Structure 1
Amino acid sequence: MKLFKLRANKESFHTIPFNSKGISLIVAKKRIENERNTYNSVGKSLSIALIHFCLASNKIPAFEELLQGWIFYLDFEINGKEYTAYRTTEQQDVIFLNDEKMSLAEFRSFMGQEVFGLTTPVNYLTNSSNIGVFI
């Protein structure tokens, strides 16, 4: 599986392109306000959360509350075939894969089969436990 880009329907979101031929790094320069308050505000953690969201994570109530009207898209490839998964912050119980509406369970099953070759359910192996492979 290769990730190509993470994008959104709002112009204020800066599309994140991924290196399709190798590793992608998101780095930041640390800002120091005072000894107790350092931050970089690049969005590394949010980027990871959004990738996970586009790969059928559980519902994120804060997205529904704080990001009304947002749609996040993840463009990727599996075995040479290109896909776009997208999900709205307001209707988080469904996900679209190449414009086909799916339940989260259907999407997770598809990903398990296509990415990991899982044809039957495996106890304690979930989409969430596998996301670390890509992050």
Structure 2
Amino acid sequence: MAESEEKGEDGLVAEIEKKITEAFEVFDRESNKTVDVREIGCIVRSLGCFPTEAEVQELLEKIEVEEPGGFVHLEHFLPVMTKVLLDRRFRPIPEDVILHAFELLETLHWLWAETEVAGLPPPKCQWASIRARTPGKELGCSSVHLHP
């Protein structure tokens, strides 16, 4: 039983490494198994991970970056990124949270348009507290920064 689990785990690691290698090769413009360090964030995001820029920098600290020019070799990137994917780090924001954010933006746009139609001056950059209704769902937001 333990042997079959080990083979399954090895298969998973091999599959992950293949995905990483394929993503890396898209950005390897000279086909020499290196990419510009500035491409690492794009590669990570193309693999379904969504780190902040600070998290990308932390990731780069774990990877040997060749100086000068700032190139990353696949052999240095592969083990670090494999661990990231196995640990399920940098997961995307849940879909319902993104949907809620877009609904709120739509509501804010509606509020902005209403002030314009009513001939009111546009909101200045200020912190406001709003409660808005959209069909079938109440949206609440406090401390929304409105920009003109």
**TM-score between the two structures when normalised by the length of structure 2:** 0.23
Ranked by relative contact order (alpha carbons within 8 Å, sequence separation 6 or more), the top structure is: 1
Q: Which has the higher helix share?
A: 2
